[in-house]
Structure 1
Amino acid sequence: MPRTRTLQPVLAGVVLAVVGFASSFAVVLAGLRAVGADPRQAASGLLVLCLTMGVTAIALGLRYRIPLSIAWSTPGAALLVAVGPQHSDYREALGAFLTTGALLLAAGLSGRFARLLHAIPAPLAAAMLAGVLLPLCLAPVQAVAQLPRQAVPVVAVWAVLLRYARRWAVPGALLTAVAAILLTGPRGRSAASLWPVLTAQTPTFSAGAVIGIAVPLFIVTMASQNIAGMSMLASYGYRPPLRPVLATTGIATMAGAPFGGHAVNLAAITAALAAGPDAHPDPRRRWIASVTGGVVYIALGLSTGLTLSLITDSPPLLIETVAGLALLGTLGSAVHSAVQDSGQRDAAVVTLVVTASGIAPFGIGAALWGLLAGLAFRAFFGGTPQPAPTAEPEREPAAR
């Protein structure tokens, strides 16, 4: 029994990293490709994210003895897919990533940024996230129509596993996609090294990329990852120091930006795997799980060369299909959070539809326009609950 208890947080950390990597690395690759990265640069971004996440998780876990799980910003990667058509200059995207890291660092050094973010109504932040995710979650539908031989088995495996073994649905879809790539892809694939290579580019800065990528990326990462991660830890009785954590993740993001890392932050969903009782009965021992997860992330990063060899000749839509399936649950949660407050539902819907529209006036991405539209609607009409329309109950029953 003592040996089992000793291994328990280690095994929890292994599961945390494998689940976090396998469930969303396709989203990261799709996001980097959307903003102009070639396959080698995308693999470099995936590698540097794994390295910075691993080092940050180990450092924070050893420093504070709290299960501070670190992850990449999955909603942020989905944002990159959404803004890619308007911002396809990769070096400008790297400049936006560097700016996002600077904003995270500033939020850690000054509490004003965090207070400003808290001032954004939660339903509108959730609606912006839903609008960002919606186009990507449409990819499985488009792929089934355009790539039926490859996409139909992926969706079918995902659906069956979702019904009978939910936690394996996304990994199963990923393995099926890999099999489809191997079986139906071109035979003359160029040989790629199985060892990953970091490829650095000099970031450049443009107002359009900073406003259209960096600002929405910062908001989405803070609202959907850092604040959600802090809330998750608080639910298990942990009170980590927010400002040092933000500053550390900001520095890690800035360090990884020239190599393609878009954002490093607190884990939200997978944080429960390290912070919950399944990691260890004693809350004081659960930090071992997050540190182990950091070690495993570094090891997984070393597999990105193999990942590159698989995706080089694969249709981008097939990778986006796996990403879209992985994010359906997140989309559902975001929509629910956006519309459950009847007083702010209309403003949230405005935010969602403008964000999902993909417009980019003046080179500014739709995510920020959606948030601004929702705030303007809310300011004009007010945030108080609107009276429900009168209707005869027997002729128009309320839907539940």
Structure 2
Amino acid sequence: MPPVQFPSQKGPAMFGLKLSHLVAGAVAVLLGYTSSVAIIFQAIDVLGATQAQANSWMLALGLGMGISGLVLSLRYKMPILTAWSTPGAALLVISLDGVPMAQAIGAFVFCAVLLTLTGLTGWFEKLSHLIPDALGNAMLAGILFRFGLEIFTSMEENLILVALMCATYLAGRRFFARFAIPMVLLIGIVFCALTGAFDTTQHVNFEIAKPVFILPEFTLATLIGIGLPLYIVTMTSQNVPGVVTLKAAGYEPPVSSAITVTGLTSLILAPFGGYAFNLAAITAAICAGPEADDNPATRYKAVVVAGVLYSIVGLLGAAVISLFVIAPKALVVTVAGLALLNTIAASLTGALKEADQREAGLVTFMTTVSGISFFGIGAPLWALVFGGLTSLILTRKA
């Protein structure tokens, strides 16, 4: 996909917000928390953190995502959304058992230093330019594919709700395309409110979270056993798809600068529980797609909305998270899946349109969907490896 040709980007960054910006940003935050916050809590539990420390983690993670996303999107006028490292959190769940909190924080700091150095040296940006567009699009389609599938699997949970939201989407695409997703979200919320589908038994504690500083302790075992793997999975499973997502949307992201910002954010917030930040992929696709804005030059405003919401969520800690939890899963996954349909379609088209790259793109797509993992490295990187080898062999044969 050729880079998007942007019109003039001068003018106030915070003005001219559209409803689509608000909805895309809100859906991105909703998806970002509901899809993986449970893994974060598991990691916190494994460490035996106190309630104050747990609140500090959520404060650091929310502010880290919000502020870094705001800085990057406003500076470069691109929908550069950041996120916590979900694969990194899963790694922590299985690696932190019996590790003292101070040593875990030391591993986070070490990972943050590596991320920052990666951004400053610029080697990752040079490597990202070697990825063929067909393979990048195929990997992105594979990452997002399961969200499209969840529209249909969620029908088993709540057929009427999902069918109503899908019908609203089809009507919206036919008669009011720009507001299709906002109407889907509105109709879903109204239906859940009228039918009592929201879980009102959850207790909500509206307290402002306070930062809890933990002095890092460095040991060779935790640096190698936790810090280094955390860096690897964050780079391969998060930053690679994040770059591909923006490129698939037609942007040329400032890769080195973005990784430097996320690395420095991790370095500053690691002692408070901000274990690792990176470029977002799935949630970024929501803000970088046409559903967020018809004009690619102003889609970054959806990230501005998401950045503000992430910061608010961080300040309120577990209170806002519990508000997300009360929503039925079918509502969340259906809105996310429908919001990503256009991006999935565009990615599949880009992956398969070139005849000489079609098989390599298909291998990349299927590997990503498979979810395989070897040596602690997830499917997205292996998809690029297998797809790249397929492309290399078949091209040389031709």
By the TM > 0.5 criterion, same fold?
Answer: yes
Match of 2:49 in 1: none
Query: Residues of 1 paired with 2:91 and 2:347: CA distance?
Result: 25
Query: Residues of 1 paired with 2:171 and 2:58: CA distance?
Result: 29
Structure 1 residues 314, 55: closer, same or farther in 2, change over 3 A?
closer
**For 1:334-345, what aligned pairs fall within 5 Å after superposition?**
334-345=347-358
Query: Residues of 2 paired with 1:192 and 1:255: CA distance?
Result: 29
Instruction: Specify the SS of the correspondent of 1:263.
Output: strand
- Deviation string 1:9-32 (CA, Å, 9 cap, x unpaired) is 543257685244223223312431
Q: 2:203 aligns with which of 191, 204, 211?
A: 191
Match of 1:127 in 2: 138
Match of 2:67 in 1: 55
Instruction: Specify the SS of the correspondent of 1:12.
Output: coil
Q: Give the drift of 1:370.
A: 1.9
Q: Give the drift of 1:221.
A: 1.2
Are residue 231 (structure 1) and residue 252 (structure 2) matched?
A: yes
Query: Residues of 1 paired with 2:255 and 2:374: CA distance?
Result: 35
Match of 1:355 in 2: 368
Unpaired runs of 5+ in structure 1?
A: 1-5, 233-240, 280-285, 387-400
Instruction: Specify the SS of the correspondent of 2:202.
Output: coil
Paired amino acid for 1:263: N
Q: TM-score when scaled to structure 2?
A: 0.67
Which stretch shows the higher mean deviation, 191-200 or 111-120? 191-200
Unpaired runs of 5+ in structure 2?
A: 1-9, 46-53, 97-103, 217-221
Q: Give the drift of 1:228.
A: 5.6
Are residue 220 (structure 1) and residue 220 (structure 2) matched?
A: no
Structure 1 residues 354, 245: closer, same or farther in 2, change over 3 A?
closer
Match of 2:50 in 1: none
Are residue 111 (structure 1) and residue 132 (structure 2) matched?
A: no
Match of 1:162 in 2: 173
Match of 1:321 in 2: 334
Which stretch shows the higher mean deviation, 44-53 or 325-334? 44-53
Match of 1:390 in 2: none
Paired amino acid for 1:339: L
The alignment covers a number of residue pairs equal to 357
Query: Residues of 2 paired with 1:179 and 1:97: CA distance?
Result: 42
Are residue 67 (structure 1) and residue 77 (structure 2) matched?
A: yes
**For 1:32-43, what aligned pairs fall within 5 Å after superposition?**
32-33=36-37, 35=39, 37=41
Match of 1:380 in 2: 393
Match of 1:283 in 2: none
Paired amino acid for 1:151: V
Are residue 23 (structure 1) and residue 33 (structure 2) matched?
A: no
Q: TM-score when scaled to structure 1?
A: 0.67
Root-mean-square deviation (CA, aligned residues, Å) is: 5.0
Are residue 151 (structure 1) and residue 162 (structure 2) matched?
A: yes
Query: Residues of 2 paired with 1:33 and 1:303: CA distance?
Result: 15
Structure 1 residues 149, 23: closer, same or farther in 2, change over 3 A?
same
Query: Residues of 1 paired with 2:296 and 2:148: CA distance?
Result: 32
- Deviation string 1:305-325 (CA, Å, 9 cap, x unpaired) is 664333334443542222222
Is contact 1:108–1:246 with CA below 8 Å preserved after alignment? yes
- Deviation string 1:105-158 (CA, Å, 9 cap, x unpaired) is 334311222111211222112111111111121001111133213322232223
Q: Give the drift of 1:340.
A: 1.6
Paired amino acid for 2:183: G
Query: Residues of 2 paired with 1:170 and 1:336: CA distance?
Result: 22
**Identity value in percent:** 26
Query: Residues of 2 paired with 1:167 and 1:222: CA distance?
Result: 26
Query: Residues of 2 paired with 1:192 and 1:354: CA distance?
Result: 41
Structure 1 residues 163, 195: closer, same or farther in 2, change over 3 A?
farther
Query: Residues of 2 paired with 1:251 and 1:264: CA distance?
Result: 13
Match of 1:249 in 2: 262
Paired amino acid for 2:82: W
Query: Residues of 2 paired with 1:155 and 1:288: CA distance?
Result: 26
Query: Residues of 1 paired with 2:349 and 2:304: CA distance?
Result: 33
